[in-house]
């Protein structure tokens, strides 16, 4: 990948059991593998999201988010019946955590703002929560004081319950204007110090996994997937991203000198067999999962394969919308965890909960009984570090070589509470996995 590309490598951590790590393709080996091998502007970081770590769910004037509502209304659907009411208590302990970040040597810290913490009802006109604003001001200032660059996501799965109840949030075109207003409030309030903004985290995965497939199912006011599938909701989120990005680019970027982008997650898809049909299926899977959001944002239109396969199910952008959307990023955030095999399968009208059914694609994590990578307790997450290199090279080739930040990558394992902390931190699987991902990433950069 071109040398001008910059990467933020964020890792998700846990205390875990350690199965053996195996790779069929080994990365390049180095005599002394250190961060000095990476470009000077490469950022090593870690990341969190508001609901996952902050706690203080309804403290200091914070409004209800959809997650706050969900864990109260459907707590029986949570495996251990936990909530995010306390979580990691980052709201109260962020200074202690920043001390640890500095000790590790992080260049950057990615976090999200809780929309309902700063605007409890979702709109400026319905009240600003000054204590919520103070928390993020203090957090940003503390990071900068410790030499850590803030990397801020505006929305990470936790929009205000108020707009969900009013009109179904991103199931409705009204969401575009409300999100744009919220984004501008953040640019105006925090943008003098925040130089990296991501509008949305994983909107593609958000819709497919959470809404359309019923994974969390909080949508109660008209935002549910319709006969058109998840595509109208995706359309609204693309427009919301672009509206916010244009406000930043036109009004704030000239003086604040920051960058704005979006974070899209994807699996890397490999053809199950070396046939034209299977290779086309793998390309189509990437179009439907990744290109669904990336192609409009870079080129102004949905992938041709989506238009061909979906017909009227896929909304169309007006000429003005296409102009607003095209080029509405300074960088592309990418979340990569795993790879899958892809193969052709006929469309099954009774299987619309499987998103790639729309693309006539079936996926598998095994070929001839051999797993694609090292299995983890998370059914979809196989560790395939080589897939990261292949994905980066595909992005360079297919999407005009954008500036890329890898915002998430990591290892999932089961917790073993019988281990002492000294035993648990002898974490050979995670060390090997992160080492391999970084080496394959460096290969892509070179």
Instruction: Tell me the residue length of the chain.
Output: 446
Q: Which of 54, 164, 184, 202 is catalytic?
A: 202
How far apart CA 173 and CA 234 sit, in angstroms, is 11
Using DSSP bridges, classify how beta strands 43-47 and 8-12 pair: parallel, antiparallel or unpaired. parallel
Residue 9 CA to residue 405 CA, distance in Å, equals 7
- What does the block give as tokens for 227? 């006969």
| Distance from C-alpha of 102 to C-alpha of 49, rounded to nearest angstrom | 19
Catalytic-residue membership of 202:
yes
**Interatomic CA distance for residues 327 and 113, integer angstroms:** 24
Is 166 labeled as catalytic in the residue annotation?
A: no
Token pair of 262, please? 């979006």
Give the separation between CA 299 and CA 315, rounded to whole angstroms: 16
What is the number of other CB atoms lying within 10 angstroms of the CB of residue 207?
26
Pair 268, 328: CB distance under 8 Å: no
Alpha carbons 401 and 394: distance in angstroms, whole number: 9
152 and 113 in contact (C-beta within 8 Å)?
A: yes
Q: Which residues are known catalytic residues?
A: 202, 408
């Amino acid at each position: 990948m071109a040398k001008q590309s910059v990467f933020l490598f964020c890792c998700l951590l846990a205390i875990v059991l350690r199965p053996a790590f195996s790779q069929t393709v080994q990365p390049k080996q180095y005599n002394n593998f250190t961060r000095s091998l990476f470009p000077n502007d490469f950022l090593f970081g870690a990341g969190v999201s508001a609901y996952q770590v902050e706690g203080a769910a309804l403290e200091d004037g914070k409004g209800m988010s959809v997650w706050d509502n969900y864990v109260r209304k459907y707590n029986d659907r949570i495996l251990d019946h936990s909530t995010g009411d306390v979580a990691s208590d980052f709201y109260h302990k962020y200074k202690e955590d920043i001390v640890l970040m500095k000790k590790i040597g992080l260049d950057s810290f990615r976090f999200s703002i809780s929309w309902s913490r700063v605007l409890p009802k979702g709109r400026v006109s319905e009240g600003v929560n000054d204590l919520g604003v103070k928390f993020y001001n203090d957090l940003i200032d503390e990071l900068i004081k410790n030499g850590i660059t803030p990397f801020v996501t505006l929305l990470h799965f936790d929009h205000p319950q108020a707009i969900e109840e009013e009109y179904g949030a991103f199931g409705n075109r009204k969401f575009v204007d409300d999100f744009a207003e919220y984004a501008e409030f953040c640019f105006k309030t925090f943008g003098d110090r925040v130089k990296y903004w991501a509008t949305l985290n994983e909107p593609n995965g958000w819709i497919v996994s959470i809404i359309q497939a019923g994974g969390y199912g909080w949508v109660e006011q008209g935002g549910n997937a319709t006969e058109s599938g998840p595509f109208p909701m995706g359309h609204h989120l693309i427009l919301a991203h672009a509206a916010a990005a244009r406000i930043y680019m036109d009004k704030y970027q000239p003086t604040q000198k920051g960058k704005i982008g979006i974070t899209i997650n994807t699996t890397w898809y490999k053809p199950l067999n070396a046939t034209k049909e299977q290779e086309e299926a793998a390309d189509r899977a990437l179009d439907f999962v990744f290109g669904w959001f990336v192609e409009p944002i870079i080129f102004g239109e949905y992938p041709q394969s989506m238009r061909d396969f979906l017909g009227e199910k896929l909304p169309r952008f007006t000429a003005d919308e296409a102009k607003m959307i095209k080029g509405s990023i300074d960088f592309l955030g990418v979340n990569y965890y795993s790879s899958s095999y892809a193969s052709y399968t006929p469309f099954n009208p009774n299987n619309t909960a499987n998103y790639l059914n729309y693309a006539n694609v079936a996926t598998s994590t095994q070929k001839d009984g051999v797993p694609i990578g090292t299995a983890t307790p998370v059914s979809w997450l196989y560790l395939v570090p080589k897939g990261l290199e292949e994905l980066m090279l595909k992005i360079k080739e297919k999407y005009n070589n954008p500036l890329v930040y890898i915002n998430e990558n990591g290892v999932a394992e089961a917790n073993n509470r019988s281990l002492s902390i000294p035993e648990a931190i002898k974490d050979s699987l995670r060390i090997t996995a992160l080492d391999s991902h970084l080496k394959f990433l460096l290969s892509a950069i070179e």
